[in-house]
Amino acid sequence: MEANTLNELKKFALDIRIETLNMISKHGFGHMGGSLSVADAITVLYGNQMKYDPENPKWDGRDYLVLSKGHCGPALYSALAIKGFFPREELLTINKLGTRLPSHVDKNLTPGIDMTAGSLGQGVSCALGIALGLKLQNKPNMVYAIIGDGEAQEGQVWETMLIAPNRGVKNFIVLLDNNKQQLDEFTEHISSLGDIRRKAEDFGWYALTVDGHDLSAIDEAIEKCKAEDKPGFINMETVKGKGWPDKEAILGNHALRGAAFAGVDEAIDNLRKELAAI
């Protein structure tokens, strides 16, 4: 990746985190931890990989993203606003009466959202359906799905893992936000995923593991998946709450409320300083 491209992606990632922290903290409640851990994957997708048109969100030539862990919508909303799908000031309406930005993504409300999600496991199943439909129509559009490690305990995820290779769906890449936590515990303590990359490979996927906060590594992994004649699976090792040091990887940063936002203004200021320094 060229230095200029990487710098633009770094700026984009910081901007997503700033807007995400700002909107959630101003609302007073929201899924902060996972929204921050997926920010870099969303950065690469909308900053260097996906084809899309903010002025025509339903463009037939677009690539699709299904945020299967739909509660992390704030990070995706931030990216969409930054890219011009809707005004940035609308971010502060999140989860308010009449908003187009509900707490969980909804394709019927928000420009740029390709699939409604929230019931964990269902989004990735729908993403496979989209990919299969495009394949049957001989269309070149790519389909990406972002899932969580807690979500990966759902049976529908493993049905998807089984079916996609057996149907020869090669226009489909799943990115696992493996931040080691779910709602109220570490994933390992509830139901360990084991060697998730190896399991995906055994199911017939082209699978690899990357640092989920290394923009170049994520981008390279996507390129490698696209070059294969099978679906791609990227196990992204991430930190829940990445970008707010006081909240990173501590148990209980899934959804914040009230006093839990103490120090958020300082965290936002520090991110803005990083952004200004690039």
- Chunk the chain into consecutive blocks of 10 residues (it has 278) and report each block's average pLDDT, rounded to whole numbers: 95 98 94 96 98 98 97 97 98 96 96 94 96 97 97 96 97 97 88 96 98 98 98 98 91 85 96 96
Phi, psi of 213 (to 5 degrees): -115, 10
pTM higher than 0.75 for the full model? yes
Proportion of the chain in helix, strand, coil states, percent, rounded to 5: 50, 15, 40
Domain locations in the chain as residue ranges: 3-277
Mean residue pLDDT of the chain comes to 96
pLDDT at residue 162 in the model: 97
Q: What's the pLDDT at 254?
A: 82
Q: Measured over all CA atoms, what is the biggest interatomic distance in the chain, rounded to whole angstroms?
A: 52
Residue 185: its pLDDT value, please? 86
Residues 6+ apart with CB under 8 A from 207: 197, 198, 200, 201, 232, 233, 234, 235
Q: What size, in residues, is the chain? A: 278
Can you tell me the distance from the alpha carbon of 179 to that of 166, in angstroms, rounded to the nearest whole number?
29
Torsion of CA 122, 128, 134, 136, to 10 degrees: -120
CA dist 236 and 219 (Å) reads 12
pLDDT digits (tens, 9 = 90+) for 93-118: 999 999 999 999 999 999 999 999 98
Give the CB-side neighbour count of residue 84, counting CA atoms within 13 A: 6
* pLDDT at residue number 172: 98
The CATH H-level superfamily of 3-277 is Thiamin diphosphate (ThDP)-binding fold, Pyr/PP domains (3.40.50.970)
